[in-house]
């Protein structure tokens, strides 16, 4: 009789290599929305001297400044904690 294989011996149907849709999906895909890539490419490819992480304006500037403030604040906090931990305790 021998041992039975743990995995099925037949390979499953390919998922990504087919052009047909899986059953159950509607004919149109409204959940995909519009393609924003061409618009974003226009924004990011403009040669205006700004770094790429600040190209989209005010929200990017606020996110960048918040990140830098938290980084600098965390570094200062760590240095203070190390300084306090390095001091000998008074008896």
Assess contact for 64 and 57: CB atoms under 8 A: no
Q: List pLDDT tens digits, range 65-82.
A: 999 999 999 999 999 999
* pTM of the entire predicted model: 0.53
Quote the pLDDT of residue 26: 58
pLDDT at residue 18 greater than cutoff 60: no
- Residue 47 has a CB neighbour count (10 Å cut-off) of 5
pLDDT at residue 13 greater than cutoff 90: no
Q: List pLDDT tens digits, range 22-51.
A: 566 555 556 667 888 899 899 889 898 888
Measure the CA–CA gap between 25 and 3, rounded to whole angstroms: 40
């Amino acid at each position: 009789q021998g041992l039975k294989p743990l995995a099925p011996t037949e390979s499953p149907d390919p998922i990504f290599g087919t052009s047909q849709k899986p059953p159950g999906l509607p004919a149109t895909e409204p959940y995909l929305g519009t393609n924003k890539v061409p618009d974003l490419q226009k924004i990011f490819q403009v040669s205006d001297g700004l770094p790429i992480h600040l190209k989209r304006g005010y929200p990017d500037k606020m996110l960048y400044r918040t990140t830098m403030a938290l980084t600098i604040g965390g570094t200062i906090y760590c240095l203070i904690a190390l300084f306090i931990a390095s001091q000998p305790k008074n008896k």
